[in-house]
Amino acid sequence: MLRFLTSGESHGKYLTATIEGIPSGLKISAETINHDLARRQTGYGVGPRMAIEKDEVEIVAGVRFGKTIGSPITLLISNRDWIHWQETMAVNDPKRPIKELVTAPRPGHADLAGALKYHQKDIRNILERSSARETAARVAVGSICRAFVKQFGIRVIGYVISIGGISIKKQNMPLDMIHQHAEASMLRCPDPVAERSMIRRIDAARKRGDSLGGIFEVVADGVPPGIGSHIQWDLRLDARLAQAIMSIQAIKGVEIGMGFEAARRSGSQVHDPIWYDSNKKSFYRTTNNAGGIEGGISNGEMIVVRAAMKPIATLYAPLHSVDIVTKEEVAAAVERSDICRVPSAAVIGEAMVCIVLANALLEKFGGDNMSETLNNYASYLRYLKRF
Ligand code: EPS
């Protein structure tokens, strides 16, 4: 079983992650993880914080001479901004009382619900952990899982398909081209025409003191049939992907394949007819409305997950709120913030998909070292041809 935990506050000293269950013998390098960390930090619409941070991982446990050794892997990422927050975020009792309490909850953030739940009169004790800064740690974990799923020939690609109501046109664009364009785009958007309109929308939102959300899509290519299971609710691959994606800060909706559109169509317009290729000795589909999953099990087609991200909750032109101490009507707190982080969310989505797939693959193929795991996989592929 693969499991992981992250810890760390947005302006604390470090983010950390511990991941357990990766077999021994998997090649891991800080450079590869840093590449994904850098991808998460880019994007037109990021706020001033990203000029301060340049995320770099330190691997402090579980890896020796560039390979996993089967023990828990612990990762550290420094918050460079911490230097400016040492007093505010001190672990020990402060020498002087902290006067700058945050007491005006932001609608859409965890501020009020968290303050009520954890009995806090300083919302900083909530916002520091609810901040999407935490996703840097998840991307680092996802990067290790990406290295694992790559051994199975799986690649996971995320890109933006809509921002602020502007959507891309990608009919029939091959995956390689989508990937290439998305990587080159400052909005991780494969359609340069749509990208230009999105940028205009972001500029307009910035001028108004507003923020924008959008939709990203993550695809996993090369997943074999038979991952996940129909036999229990918590083993279903689609359910696990939905939970993982929904757990990303600010995500309000998740779709697999055709998603909500399937509810508007009849069965003959939705389900993907089954064909057999006797040369390749494998079943295939000519459509993929199921998004690669049927009955909670991967069916061998590309897995397609989409997520809707709400606009960032911190608004430079703040909404109406109520002070949690005085109960007076106030404007919501304005923390320095971003205008749009959908491009980052696409990279975080990739990480969560890699984590879920790695776990489901380990469940099916087991193994305590990579050669055992991959031998089991090779034997399964041989079985599929004989089926
Ligand atoms: C965030 C607020 C901003 C973002 C942050 C998420 O941070 P700050 O308050 O320090 O300006 O930049 O995202 C990151 C730091 C990051 O690495 O993605 C929030 O409130 O969620």
Residue 83 pLDDT exceeds 80:
yes
- Any idea what the Cα angle at residue 80 is, between residues 76 and 85, rounded to 5°? 110
346 touches 40 (CB < 8 A)? no
CA distance 255 to 275: 25
Q: Which band of pLDDT confidence, cut at 50, 70 and 90, is reported for residue 45?
A: confident
* Mean of the per-residue pLDDT values of the chain: 96
Q: Which residues have any ligand 1 atom within 6 Å of their CB? A: 10, 47, 49, 53, 131-133, 136, 314, 335-338
Distances (CA, A) of 235 to 241, 292, 351: 11, 16, 19
Report yes or no on whether pTM surpasses 0.75.
yes
CA distance 192 to 9: 36
SS3 readout for 36-69: HHHHHHCCCCCCCHHHHCCCCEEEEECEECCEEC
User: Range of 316's domain?
Assistant: 3-386
CA distance 89 to 73: 26
305 touches 353 (CB < 8 A)? yes
Residue 114 pLDDT exceeds 90:
yes
1 touches 21 (CB < 8 A)? yes
pLDDT 10s digits, 223-280:
999 999 999 999 999 999 999 999 999 999 999 999 999 999 999 999 999 999 999 9
Residue 95 pLDDT exceeds 80:
no
How many structural domains are present in the chain?
A: 1
Ligand 1 atom 2 nearest Cα: 337
Q: Best substitution site from 6, 49, 123, 124 to test ligand 1's pocket, by max atoms within 8 Å of Cβ?
A: 49
The CATH number assigned to the domain holding 40 equals 3.60.150.10
Ligand 1 atom 16 nearest Cα: 133
Ligand 1 atom 13 nearest Cα: 133
Rg (CA), the chain: 22
% of residues, the chain, pLDDT over 90: 92
80 touches 52 (CB < 8 A)? yes
